[in-house]
Amino acid sequence: MKKYIALLFIVSAFICGTAKAQLISYSEPDRDDARDMVFEVMGKMNGTFHIYKSYRDYHFITLLDAQMKQIEKVKLDFLPDRIFNADFLQYPDFYYMFYQYQKRNIVYCMAVKLDSKAKKIGEPIQLDTTEINFSASNKIYTVLNSEDKQKLMVLKINSRNEKLHYLTTSLFDKNLVLQKKTQIAVPMPDRNDVITEFQLDNDGDMVCVKTSGTGQ
């Protein structure tokens, strides 16, 4: 996510003969946009740019044409209050939105399928839940996808035991059908040990790096 700025620029370069030039298109600021709004450029689908915007409990997807003119602003009114993370994964004719939220002492990891007009396809799907005894403000889950986007994974790390972390992974296919769920115990003998750099291959195997040392 990035802070929303007054103008959103998309720059493309083209070559005409031996000369080079730049075509710069920009969208005018929406008067409803707050100064500290966050946004994410999700990508382009069917010739339309999709921009996710959020401010507190307000979540929208703005659709822009090739000239960066607003076509439509779709309110994501199906989202619960206070989601604290949103990720997007685009396919040729749809995309997934992954989000997390807390209700009482349960954190939910959810996914919803959206079409090329940012309209919901079906109902949101619950991917996993975690029971916690505190109020979460940052994400509990990390979402991974394979290079071919045929495998998806959500993972979480239980670090209550400083010496032994538990890594739980849930592997899904492209249609978000659960394939398997795995829990791995990772020894963390040094207080500076960190598990990072998660990657998912096309076979659904996940790799990560555990770093150690006083420099962490």
Q: What pLDDT is attached to residue 76?
A: 96
Q: Which CB contacts under 8 angstroms, 24+ apart, belong to 126-135?
A: 127/98, 127/154, 127/170, 127/172, 127/176, 128/154, 128/156, 128/168, 128/170, 130/106, 130/156, 131/105, 131/106, 131/107, 132/102, 132/105, 132/106, 132/107, 133/105, 135/102
Question: What would the pLDDT profile of 173-195 be if each residue is shown by its tens digit?
Answer: 999 999 999 999 999 998 889 99
Q: What pLDDT is attached to residue 146?
A: 98
Domain boundaries, the chain: 140-216
Is residue 11 pLDDT above 80, yes or no? no
Question: What would the pLDDT profile of 59-109 be if each residue is shown by its tens digit?
Answer: 999 999 999 899 999 999 999 988 988 999 999 999 999 999 999 999 999
pLDDT mean across residues, the chain: 85
